């Protein structure tokens, strides 16, 4: 049996996959078992920021792989400590970091920290969370409760109680639901799964004020939009609004599982040994790789490349004047192409044109290539996309 047949027989059918088995990759290109090459505009869902076959990632993995991969959180380890230092140094609001293994774990940790903070400072009864329409915060029970999609939530009810939903970019709708029973507001500065929707500056500033007014923590979920994706290290930087907690994950170790929650000192102070933890997080192997990713992506020249290539990509898509393209949204290399038709057949047709595409909702194409993509490769992507839409 080949890989597809084996999967069909032995793997739980939780994913719909095209009949392609990927076996290799270089730069922004992936190759399947039949030797077909695909220009990758998905990057493992906004993960593989430095692309495939990066020599520094490969040599770091080889070196770290010769040492113990795991010590557990019972003991100190150097790569984790250095990564925490680096993340705090490049993140003006943050004082400390707590590590996880995924995006959903980082939003879970954020909820737990917010509840502990509220309980410590304000007593019982301040446990609710404000989240937004179109949000995606993950699939574990707490994160799922803040992800208002019936298809994802309904089979698993009852969910975590106490989540109040407001409309994204609509501050009046937040005023309607917030009161002193709220311990945190959680928001993606650029919504990813919801269709690539950037938050407005004025809305975010007002959200910050409302959070202060009600002694609620402001949590930015930058699992998808953070770490260089939008052309600044964190997506919230151009907004000029700072959170109390920030969740990161996806690209942080270029494909190895990792999550990180960055917090202000006042939040860190309420977390004591034993309050929250996990076996694998912050291990030396993964954090060795994450150190390379953070060093490379935080370089201003790298971020400049993302800004320029992203702006070029957006302009070229707009210049197509394709009748199916209603709008191109987003910043840097996190672009959403609003179509006047379902995205699924477009993603499907992409395979025949050597293009890996991803949707975000029913009618939006989400373009999140490796951040190292060049303008020449953008040209190829745009030509192929035009052919697909044609
Ligand atoms: C904004 C955001 N938060 C959280 C998650 C969950 O991350 P993970 O799939 O690593 O659990 C995602 C995943 O797409 C995401 O986009």
CATH assignment of the domain containing 378:
3.90.1150.10
Domain edge (last residue) among 237, 263, 297: 297
Residues 335 and 220 grouped into a single domain: no
User: What pLDDT is stored for residue 390 in this prediction?
Assistant: 87
d(CA 190, CA 12): 32
User: Ligand 1 centroid vs 51 CA: distance in angstroms?
Assistant: 19
| Interval between CA 137 and ligand 1 midpoint (Å) | 5
By residue range, what is the domain housing residue 16?
3-54+300-389
For 205-223, write each residue's pLDDT tens digit: 999 999 999 999 999 999 9
Is residue 230 domain-shared with residue 331, that is, in the same domain? no
Q: Does the residue 20 lie in any domain?
A: yes
- Give the domain-ending residue among 265, 297, 329: 297
Three-state DSSP class for 327? strand
Q: What is the pLDDT of residue 238?
A: 97
Token pair, residue 389, equals 């839409």
249 and 348 fall within a common domain: no
The domain total for the chain is: 2
CB of 221 closer than 6 angstroms to any ligand 1 atom: yes
Residues 244 and 342 in one domain: no
Instruction: Name which residue sits closest to atom 8 of ligand 1, judged by CA.
Output: 103
Q: Which of 15, 45, 104 to mutate to test the pocket of ligand 1 (most atoms within 8 A of CB)?
A: 104
Q: Which residues pair with 31 in a beta bridge?
A: 24, 37
How do the pLDDT tens digits run along the chain, 390 residues long? 999 999 999 999 999 999 999 999 999 999 999 999 999 999 999 999 999 999 999 999 999 999 999 999 999 999 999 999 999 999 999 999 999 999 999 999 999 999 999 999 999 999 999 999 999 999 999 999 999 999 999 999 999 999 999 999 999 999 999 999 999 999 999 999 999 999 999 999 999 999 999 999 999 999 999 999 999 999 999 999 999 999 999 999 999 999 999 999 999 999 999 999 999 999 999 999 999 999 999 999 999 999 999 999 999 999 999 999 999 999 999 999 999 999 999 999 999 999 999 999 999 999 999 999 999 999 999 999 999 998
Looking at 276, 297, 318, the residue that finishes a domain is 297
Query: 164: Cβ–Cβ under 8 A, 6 or more apart, which residues?
Result: 128, 129, 130, 131, 177, 178, 182
Q: Is the CB of 188 under 6 A from ligand 1?
A: yes
136 CA to centre of ligand 1 in angstroms: 7
Q: Which structure tokens are listed for 152?
A: 């994802």
Query: Are 268 and 246 in a shared domain?
Result: yes
The residue whose CA is least distant from atom 3 of ligand 1 is 137
Rounded to the nearest angstrom, the gap between the alpha carbon of residue 243 and the centroid of all alpha carbons in its chain is: 16
- DSSP label of 226: T
Tell me the CA–centroid distance for residue 381 and ligand 1, in Å. 25
**Do the Cβ atoms of 104 and 139 come closer than 8 Å?**
yes
Atom of ligand 1 nearest to the CA of 135: 1
Q: What is the pLDDT of residues 169-184, one digit of tens each?
A: 999 999 999 999 999 9
To test the pocket of ligand 1, the residue of 188, 189, 223, 330 to mutate (highest count of ligand atoms within 8 Å of its CB) is: 223
User: The domain that contains 196 carries what CATH number?
Assistant: 3.40.640.10
pTM over 0.95: yes
Stretch (H or E) spanning 336: strand 334-339
62 lies in some domain: no
Q: Is 107 in the pocket of ligand 1 (CB under 6 A)?
A: yes
Label the pairing between strands 22-26 and 29-32.
antiparallel
What's the Cα-to-Cα distance from 327 to each of 45, 282, 333, 357, 364, rounded to whole Å?
Answer: 21, 40, 16, 17, 9
Handedness of CA 78, 83, 85, 86 (dihedral sign): positive
The string of DSSP codes covering 316-351 is HHHHT--TTEEEEEEETTEEEEEESS-SHHHHHHHH
Residue nearest to atom 7 of ligand 1 (CA): 103
Strand positions, DSSP E, 61-189: 96-100, 128-132, 163-166, 182-187
Ligand 1 in reach of 137 Cβ (< 6 A): yes
Q: Determine if ligand 1 sits within 6 Å of the CB of residue 223.
A: yes
Q: How far is the CA of 35 from the centre of ligand 1 (A)?
A: 31
Q: Do residues 279 and 242 lie in contact, with contact meaning Cβ atoms separated by under 8 Å?
A: no
Task: Name the pairing type of β-strands 182-187 and 217-221.
Answer: parallel
Instruction: Quote the CA–CA distance of 78 and 365 in Å, as a whole number.
Output: 41
On whether both 270 and 358 belong to a single domain, the answer is: no
311 and 223: one domain?
no
- Tell me which residue of 369, 363, 360, 361 sits closest to 389, measured CA to CA: 363
Does residue 138's CB lie within 6 angstroms of at least one atom of ligand 1? yes
Peptide bond into 158 cis (omega under 30): yes
Domain annotation covers residue 310: yes
Whether the CB of 136 sits within 6 Å of ligand 1:
yes
Residue 61 is assigned to a structural domain of this protein = no
In short, whether 191's Cβ falls inside 6 Å of ligand 1 is no
Q: Residue 248's beta-bridge partner residues?
A: 260
Three-class secondary structure of residue 193 per DSSP? coil
Q: Is 251 in the pocket of ligand 1 (CB under 6 A)?
A: no
Kindly state whether residues 24 and 108 are assigned to the same domain: no
- On whether the CB atoms of residues 70 and 288 are closer than 8 A, the answer is no
Residue 369 CA to ligand 1 center (angstroms) comes to 17
Q: Is 96 part of any domain?
A: yes
Query: CA nearest 248: which of 238, 237, 233?
Result: 233
């Amino acid at each position: 049996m080949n890989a597809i047949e084996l999967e069909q027989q032995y793997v739980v059918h939780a994913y719909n996959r095209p009949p392609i088995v990927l076996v290799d990759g270089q730069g922004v290109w992936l190759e399947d078992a039949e030797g077909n090459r695909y220009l990758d505009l998905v990057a493992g869902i906004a993960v593989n920021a430095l692309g495939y076959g990066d020599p520094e990632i490969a040599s770091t993995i080889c070196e770290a792989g010769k040492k113990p991969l795991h010590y557990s959180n019972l003991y100190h380890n150097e790569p984790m400590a250095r990564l925490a230092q680096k993340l705090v140094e490049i993140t003006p609001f943050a004082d400390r970091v707590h590590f996880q293994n995924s995006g959903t774990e980082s939003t879970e940790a954020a909820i737990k920290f917010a509840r502990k903070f509220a309980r410590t400072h304000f007593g019982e009864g301040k446990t609710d969370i404000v989240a937004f329409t179109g949000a995606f915060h993950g699939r574990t029970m707490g994160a799922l409760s803040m992800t208002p999609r019936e298809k994802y939530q309904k089979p698993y009810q009852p969910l975590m109680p106490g989540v109040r939903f407001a409309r994204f970019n609509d501050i009046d709708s937040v005023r309607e639901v917030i009161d002193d029973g709220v311990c945190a507001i959680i928001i993606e500065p650029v919504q990813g799964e919801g269709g690539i929707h950037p938050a407005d500056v004025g809305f975010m500033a007002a959200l910050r004020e409302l959070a202060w007014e009600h002694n609620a923590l402001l949590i930015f979920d930058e699992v998808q939009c953070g770490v260089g994706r939008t052309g600044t290290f964190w997506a919230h930087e151009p907004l000029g609004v700072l959170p109390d907690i920030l969740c990161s994950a996806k690209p942080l170790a270029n494909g190895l599982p990792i999550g990180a929650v960055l917090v202000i000192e006042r939040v860190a102070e309420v977390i004591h040994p034993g309050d929250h933890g996990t076996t694998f997080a912050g291990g030396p192997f993964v954090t060795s790789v994450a150190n390379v990713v953070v060093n490379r992506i935080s370089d201003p020249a790298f971020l400049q490349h993302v800004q320029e290539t992203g702006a070029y990509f957006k302009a070229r898509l707009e210049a197509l004047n394709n009748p199916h393209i209603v709008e191109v949204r987003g910043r840097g290399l996190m672009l959403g192409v609003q179509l006047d038709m379902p995205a699924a057949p477009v993603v499907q047709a992409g395979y025949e044109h050597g293009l890996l595409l991803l949707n975000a909702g029913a009618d939006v194409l989400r373009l999140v290539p490796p951040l190292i993509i060049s303008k020449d490769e953008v040209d190829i992507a745009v030509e192929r996309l035009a052919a697909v839409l044609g």
